[in-house]
Chains A and B, each alone.
Chain A
Amino acid sequence: MSEENLNICELTKQDFKVTNPVKWCAGCGGHSVLSTVQNALPETLVKKENIVFVSGIGCSSRFPYYINTYGVHGMHGRAAPIASGIKVANPNLSVWVVTGDGDMLAIGGNHFIHILRRNINVNILLFNNKIYGLTKGQYSPTTPLGSVTKTSPEGTIENPFKPGELAMGAQGTFFARVVDTEPKMMREVFKKAAEHKGTSTVEILQNCIIFANEVHKEITGKEVRKEHQIYLKHGEPMLYGENNDKGLILVKGRLKSVTVGMDGYTMDDILVHDVMDPDDTVHYMLARMSLPELPVAMGVIRAWETGVFESMLTDQVEHAKKNTKITNVNELLRSGNTFQVD
């Protein structure tokens, strides 16, 4: 089956719903992510038989049970290699990984960097709620320094990861960030992640209502979000703020927030977002922006297309098939040094 043949389906959200109950807590950020994925999938035009959701262990990793596609609920941390095996075996499938900050950045950290390095064409939805939810409230690799949790009664003494920094460091070709309370943003970004050829990582700032409620409040709160977030779009100037008059400029190799019309800054000074820049220097700076000096970047931060592992492997296989005299196992067994004994 060619990739074009996949694109034949007109489906609706209803097609991706399941009859079994969704067992996340009421108020969990996961519900809106699920609903948005179910909305976005029809827009990818892929037959639901050609979609596989793969997960590890954790609250978010129950996701495959809640969506009407093929699915594998794997082992803690191992969603990336399981998904790699599926995609490499059958590149015609649309493969999604649903994972969390513990699953992908702690126990699965090694697999995360290696799937990015290989650039296997799967889409990773990384639910970052900065806490272990399923095991009931221990700190995770993204928990802010000093946080009091069940396993850090005096506060954590470990520096948190920023998923975007890891993604860039591992040569990830697509990185985006979204907020679980903004379905429109999620839908736009999920679709772009699906379109990207290569490993797409979408960090979802997701709220755990039980163990880390409002952990993202400073970024996502209704009153502050316009001032504290910048929704980056390819080809557009990097503007944000209540009046959309704040913008990002580059000064002495660092990003700086300025107000257009003040201190002599004009629109010409404001950076224009280029997701496709092969050089990831600016993407890296955008991904690691943090409050209070700078807004937190949302949307697609990097989307550079380059070689995809499974396509290159398929090419090698096809090339080898064309250039061999050994075309079946009987010929293989009789190749090289053999000895006829009469």
Chain B
Amino acid sequence: MAKNAKVIELDEVVVKFAGDSGDGMQLTGSQFSDTSAFIGNDLSTFPDYPSEIRAPGGTIAGVSGFQVHIGQKEVHSPGDQADVLVAMNPAALKANMRWIKDGATIIIDIDNFDNKHYKKAGYVEDPLGDGSLEGYNVVKAPITHLTRSTVKEFGLDIKTADKTKNQFVAGLLYWLFNRDIKIGENFLKRKFKNKQMLVDANIKVLREGYNYAETIEAMTTTFMVNPAKKKKGLFRNITGNQATAWGLIAASERSGRPLFLGSYPITPATEILQELASRKHLGVKTFQAEDEIAGISAAIGASYAGHLAATSTSGPGLALKGESIGLAVMTELPLVIINVQRGGPSTGLPTKTEQADLMQALYGRSGESPVVVMAASTPADCFHYTYMAAKIAIEHMTPVILLTDGYLANGSELWHIPDVNDLPDIKVPYVKENDPDYKPYYRDPESLARFWAMPGQEGLRHKVGGLEKEDISGDISHDPLNHHVMVELREAKVEKVVDYIPELEILGKNDADLLVIGWGGSYGTLLTAVEELQEEGVSLSLAHFNYIRPLPKNTADVLKGFKKRVVCEQNLGQFADYITMKHPQFEYQRFNKVQGLPFMISELKLKFKELLEEI
């Protein structure tokens, strides 16, 4: 460390890495996250990438980003704005200027700050000379130039050599945050296992970046984020999609029913299919179907055959699956439908996040077609809620739609690894072979779930299908009264799930002035905003929903204790409409944002203060 650099201890810090799609910013981001986790920081990450694989280099459309929020305190979101921005080219700088804090440190690759690149980025004036960076701590490092000369001895072609630039950046960051460079080196050894030359080249560049930072003395201050104090135990960094996939495998192991995923690639849900396809060693079968409909249809077939069946998709795919979900409702087969929401309608914003599929999940089918609807709220708790979705699907013989979103799916956080044996039991509603009393629509009197007879079992031959069936016998029936009975039974079965889900918790006092209401993926930002205001002595609490249909039993009790309620969601008010319908005795304010982006903590706090001033 430079002798005269001053070390400042910070509770938390947000770093944003930005560059061209091919600059390896996601890798540097992951490496920095892992290192932070290794030394015991809490963390939350969020990648921000364009929908084009390789948009024209140097343009705004091609900017790919990765944001990391690390803390000595608990961290619940990737953070609003960055303390440190790495901008590999002018486009990356331009795209991120409004996402950095006043006085932030900006590290740029000065080799790319020339007229050619300014033009590509749409700069009219030289941003380094027009005064727009005044007040920021700008570190101009010749990253490209120094990286190329560092790896010269390896004889790499220019393209491969430039791919190690991100390690120069990593080296700068290790120095800036007083991190042990050995951790970064170990990361590279694992990453490029069996490719010794790449390991050597990358490590050399990493050290060069570190030494450069130490030598130039351009950074007069370095930072220290100490280990988080609260959390103890074994942790890993996990994304929402990975946690979702693993939740399904865990439910399969605990229920004893083999896992089948029928799916079709769609952003941002594809990683669930990819992850499960690589888990054959745990007995997982995946079926990449010819389309969304075939994906869920195959899953319904597998469910009939006795597997824990799931399908994963995003909004437009859920629309295509609508009829099939209706069949699963009618046949009363267990099925987990994962919908990783993205900006809609239509193709919309495939790589951006939104919460606008709620009504589709609740009602987007023909006829009276009730399903259980749930939502995960953090990248890591996708594991828990996927597990619970599978448990409910099996125990209640019903399709369950689990809503996550692009923000949860691609974001990551530290996860306290559970022991699978501590997860709640999953009781499969089996039927014994040759049970003389078996009828397809006999039901458990408590849950109203029917029983799961599987082909291959003797003496239980039966048909299921989309045509309305006679109660109990399962024969085709067009009888008007029978239809009414069956519609009510299917509805009641889903409503009964309320007896098996936890009550809604209030974070804060149950009689504060303002109740902030949220659901799904906005939890981290809502929680941070509420906690920060609570610390300031503001009278507000948070009620966050993971179980949407049915709503928890105590919902009305929770809602009644407040002077004002505000429903915050990334749509035009779908949950607000839903809860107004279910609990019309209360008034709800709304705070909506539909920009393909998560809420910012600052805008939430501002809104809550405004609402409280009006009281």
User: Are B462 and A70 neighbours in the complex by a CB distance under 8 Å?
Assistant: yes
Contact flag A81-B298 (CB < 8 Å), given A71-B463, A74-B466, A89-B260? yes
Within 8 Å by CB of A65, from B236, B253, B303, B463, lies B463
Nearest B residue to A73, CB-CB: B465
* Assembly CA distance A270 to B421 (angstroms): 70
Residue A250 is within 8 A (CB to CB) of chain B in the complex: no
| Chain A residues with CB under 8 A of B307 | 89-90
User: Are A68 and B461 neighbours in the complex by a CB distance under 8 Å?
Assistant: yes
Residue A48 is within 8 A (CB to CB) of chain B in the complex: yes
User: Are A313 and B285 neighbours in the complex by a CB distance under 8 Å?
Assistant: yes
* Assembly CA distance A276 to B302 (angstroms): 31
Interface pick from B289-297, B495-503, B581-589: B289-297
Tell me which residues from 216 to 247 in chain B have a Cβ below 8 Å from any Cβ of chain A.
227-228, 231-237, 246
* Assembly CA distance A89 to B299 (angstroms): 9
Interface pick from B66-74, B450-458, B521-529, B545-553: B450-458
Residue A35 is within 8 A (CB to CB) of chain B in the complex: no
Within 8 Å by CB of B249, from A64, A80, A332, lies A332
| Chain A residues with CB under 8 A of B232 | 341-342
Central interface residue in A68, A73, A93, A320, by most chain B CB within 10 Å: A73
Residue A208 is within 8 A (CB to CB) of chain B in the complex: no
Contact flag A323-B290 (CB < 8 Å), given A48-B461, A78-B297, A329-B246? no
* Assembly CA distance A87 to B331 (angstroms): 18
Residue B34 is within 8 A (CB to CB) of chain A in the complex: yes
User: Are A78 and B234 neighbours in the complex by a CB distance under 8 Å?
Assistant: no
B interface residues, tally (CB under 8 Å): 72
Query: Shortest CB–CB separation between residue B233 and chain A, in angstroms?
Result: 6
Residue B464 is within 8 A (CB to CB) of chain A in the complex: yes
Q: Which 8 A-B pairs have the closest CB atoms?
A: A85-B301, A73-B465, A85-B298, A324-B281, A81-B297, A81-B294, A320-B280, A89-B302
Query: Shortest CB–CB separation between residue B512 and chain A, in angstroms?
Result: 33
Residue B430 is within 8 A (CB to CB) of chain A in the complex: no
User: Are B283 and A75 neighbours in the complex by a CB distance under 8 Å?
Assistant: no
* Assembly CA distance A64 to B474 (angstroms): 13
A interface residues, tally (CB under 8 Å): 59
Tell me which residues from 457 to 481 in chain B have a Cβ below 8 Å from any Cβ of chain A.
457-467, 475-476
Residues of B within 8 A of A (CB): 34, 37-38, 40, 190, 227-228, 231-237, 246, 249-250, 253, 258, 260, 262, 279-285, 287, 289-291, 293-295, 297-307, 309, 323-324, 327, 331, 414, 417-421, 455-467, 475-476
User: Are A328 and B235 neighbours in the complex by a CB distance under 8 Å?
Assistant: no
* Assembly CA distance A321 to B40 (angstroms): 34
User: Are A341 and B246 neighbours in the complex by a CB distance under 8 Å?
Assistant: no
Encode contact with B along A319-337: 1 for CB under 8 Å, 0 otherwise: 1110110111110111011
Central interface residue in A69, A316, A338, by most chain B CB within 10 Å: A338
User: Are B475 and A20 neighbours in the complex by a CB distance under 8 Å?
Assistant: yes
| Chain A residues with CB under 8 A of B279 | 332
Nearest A residue to B453, CB-CB: A70
| Chain A residues with CB under 8 A of B234 | 334, 338-341
User: Are A86 and B305 neighbours in the complex by a CB distance under 8 Å?
Assistant: yes
Residue A114 is within 8 A (CB to CB) of chain B in the complex: yes
Q: List 20 A-B contacts (CB under 8 A).
A: A1-B456, A47-B458, A50-B455, A65-B463, A72-B463, A74-B466, A75-B297, A82-B304, A85-B297, A85-B303, A86-B302, A93-B456, A110-B294, A317-B280, A320-B280, A333-B246, A337-B237, A339-B38, A339-B235, A340-B234
Residue A49 is within 8 A (CB to CB) of chain B in the complex: yes
Residue A176 is within 8 A (CB to CB) of chain B in the complex: no
Query: Shortest CB–CB separation between residue B453 and chain A, in angstroms?
Result: 9
* Assembly CA distance A81 to B293 (angstroms): 8
| Chain B residues with CB under 8 A of A215 | none
| Chain A residues with CB under 8 A of B37 | 337, 339
User: Are A84 and B287 neighbours in the complex by a CB distance under 8 Å?
Assistant: yes
User: Are B280 and A82 neighbours in the complex by a CB distance under 8 Å?
Assistant: no
Residue A111 is within 8 A (CB to CB) of chain B in the complex: yes
User: Are A326 and B282 neighbours in the complex by a CB distance under 8 Å?
Assistant: yes
Nearest A residue to B262, CB-CB: A85
Q: Do most interface residues of chain B lie in helix, strand or loop, or is the interface mixed?
A: mixed
Query: Shortest CB–CB separation between residue A77 and chain B, in angstroms?
Result: 8
Residue A194 is within 8 A (CB to CB) of chain B in the complex: no
Query: Shortest CB–CB separation between residue A114 and chain B, in angstroms?
Result: 4
Within 8 Å by CB of A323, from B231, B281, B297, lies B281
User: Are A75 and B456 neighbours in the complex by a CB distance under 8 Å?
Assistant: no
* Assembly CA distance A80 to B233 (angstroms): 48
* Assembly CA distance A83 to B231 (angstroms): 48
| Chain B residues with CB under 8 A of A257 | none
Residue A52 is within 8 A (CB to CB) of chain B in the complex: yes
User: Are B250 and A329 neighbours in the complex by a CB distance under 8 Å?
Assistant: yes
* Assembly CA distance A110 to B290 (angstroms): 8
| Chain B residues with CB under 8 A of A83 | 301
Task: Please give 6 more A-B residue pairs, beta carbons under 8 A apart, in addition to A81-B294, A332-B282.
Answer: A47-B458, A49-B455, A114-B290, A324-B281, A328-B420, A337-B190
User: Are B456 and A69 neighbours in the complex by a CB distance under 8 Å?
Assistant: no
Nearest A residue to B333, CB-CB: A72
| Chain A residues with CB under 8 A of B289 | 81, 114
* Assembly CA distance A323 to B228 (angstroms): 38
Residue A88 is within 8 A (CB to CB) of chain B in the complex: yes
Tell me which residues from 29 to 77 in chain A have a Cβ below 8 Å from any Cβ of chain B.
47-50, 52, 54, 57, 64-65, 68-75
Query: Shortest CB–CB separation between residue A85 and chain B, in angstroms?
Result: 3
* Assembly CA distance A340 to B232 (angstroms): 8
Query: Shortest CB–CB separation between residue B464 and chain A, in angstroms?
Result: 6
| Chain A residues with CB under 8 A of B417 | 333-334, 338
Query: Shortest CB–CB separation between residue B70 and chain A, in angstroms?
Result: 13
Residue A171 is within 8 A (CB to CB) of chain B in the complex: no
Within 8 Å by CB of B285, from A64, A88, A340, lies A88
Residue A92 is within 8 A (CB to CB) of chain B in the complex: yes
| Chain A residues with CB under 8 A of B306 | 89-90
* Assembly CA distance A339 to B233 (angstroms): 8
* Assembly CA distance A80 to B293 (angstroms): 11
| Chain B residues with CB under 8 A of A332 | 246, 249, 279, 282
User: Are A329 and B465 neighbours in the complex by a CB distance under 8 Å?
Assistant: no
* Assembly CA distance A69 to B457 (angstroms): 11
* Assembly CA distance A256 to B113 (angstroms): 74
Contact flag A337-B281 (CB < 8 Å), given A78-B324, A329-B250? no
User: Are B467 and A49 neighbours in the complex by a CB distance under 8 Å?
Assistant: no
Nearest B residue to A50, CB-CB: B456
